[in-house]
Structure 1
Amino acid sequence: MKKLSTLALATTLGIFSFGAHAAENFAGFTWGKSTVNTDRSSSLKQNMDGKNRFDDVIKNSGTWGVRAGQMTDEARYYMTYENVSDDYGSSLKLRQQNLIGSYDMFVPLGDTTRLFGGASAGLTKLENESKGYTRDSDIGYLVGLQAGILQKLGDNTSVEAGYRYLRSNAGTEVSERGVGKLGSIDVHSSKQAYLGLNYHF
């Protein structure tokens, strides 16, 4: 029994040593284009007739992010902070900030190239910074999926191209100064195509 316990302990330590050796930390940044689709309340539809102009605010807008995590030959998990802000015309402006936890599985295409696909979940903050309107913000959840391709350039660097689709429940009130509340908007979904550069250590 003592020999069996010793063998089990040695095996367990060996597995953890292999896992620690196989995994590597990485950090990097991303740059891409995001589009956010919103839903309007019935009162906002009445007070702001016509097309949903809030859908034109963050539309193919530049988005930057920073992230860090761990990676093995089979998978990776990481945290990402993203920020996107844009305006429409001279009045409407929105900002969205995301804090996302993600997990990806790898499919190798060779020694240095991998396809990846996975899921994400986290929090998002939507801010209405429109000129002539009262500023308002809300924090909600987000969930989604991502996929892409990762290419290692050497022992310490890799680049990737990916696409992410997210659903969220964050929303803000739309109140015109001197008039009052016109209604509200809610984030329905957002999509993003991005490029990333990672440093492995």
Structure 2
Amino acid sequence: MKTKTLALAAVMTVALSAPTMAADWFIGGGVGAQQNTYKGSVTQNVDPGFNAENFKETENNVLYELRAGAYLNDNNRVYGTYSYNSDDATRQQSLLVSYDYLVGLDANNKFNWFIGATAGMNHVSPDAAEYSSKNRFVWGGQTGLMYNINDNVSTEIGYRYLKQDFEASGSYGEPTPMGTGFTEQASLNDSQQLYLSVDYRF
């Protein structure tokens, strides 16, 4: 909890300073791939702990995102992102606040490397009717390369890691002496995103 609080506080502090410090605003969108890692177990209700089976699965699907933010100067930017991802287990909608530090890789700063932190809220909607939708805090970081096509348009490829804490459980069947009933517990451990975006700066 302490780590989550510090991550959120750091990102929000920089984000709230944007209106007074910003030199250039930007809007943009992107598409990519998101990998979600699920962990869990299935246990027979007739004898908890007996025939328990643990599992770990990864789902890979398309990611869509829209974002808007501001460049505070040549080396710092803050932005908010809405993203959507759906796989065989869940649908996710995220509202994230991010900060990046940019390092110019050439004399004209057309190529930049960026690294930063992200915190926000993720709405998880499981496909299984037994599980309910939940809002959960997420946090992590991102890095990547940005290229300024001209003074107004830039494109970038980035990687983002998000730590998640979504957990759900459900019971199925009837707990009979033959052990037909069972309980499933599952959690969304983390998500990894690889994306390509285009931004318009004004």
1:97 aligned to 2:102? Answer: no
SS at 1:60's partner residue?
Answer: strand
* Secondary structure class of the residue paired with 1:169: strand
Which residue of structure 1 aligns with residue 83 of structure 2?
A: 82
| 5+ long unaligned stretches in structure 1 | 1-17, 88-92
Could you tell me which amino acid in structure 2 is paired with residue 103 of structure 1?
A: Y
How many residue pairs end up in the alignment?
171
Q: What is the RMSD of the two structures over their aligned residues, measured on CA atoms?
A: 2.6
1:118 positional shift: 0.4
TM-score normalised by L of structure 2: 0.75
AA matched with 2:84 = N
Separation (CA, whole Å) in 2 of partners of 1:182 and 1:103? 41
- Percent identity over the alignment is 32
Q: Could you tell me which residue of structure 2 aligns to residue 118 of structure 1?
A: 116
Q: TM-score if structure 1 supplies the norm length?
A: 0.75
Equivalent residue letter for 1:97: Q
Aligned residues of 1:138 and 1:171 also touching (Cα < 8 A): no
1:146 is the counterpart of 2:142: yes
**Structure 1 letter corresponding to 2:168:** T
1:38 aligns with 2:42: no
Provide the C-alpha distance between the structure 2 equivalents of 1:95 and 1:127, rounded to a whole number of angstroms. 5
CA contact (8 A) 2:41 2:54 kept: no
1:172-187 to structure 2, matched below 5 A, reads 172-176=168-172, 182-187=183-188
Cα 1:75–1:46 change in 2 (3 A) is farther
- The letter for the 2-side match of 1:98 is S
Judge which range, 63-72 or 37-46, deviates more: 37-46
Residue 79 of structure 1 deviates from its aligned partner by: 0.5
Instruction: Choose between structure 1 and 2: higher helix proportion.
Output: 1
| Structure 1 residue 49: Cα displacement | 4.4
* Alpha-carbon separation, structure 2, partners of 1:198 and 1:19: 20
Per the TM alignment, residue 62 of structure 1 is displaced from its structure 2 partner at its CA by 0.3
Say whether the 8 Å CA contact 1:136–1:173 is kept in structure 2: no
For 1:86, give the aligned amino acid. D
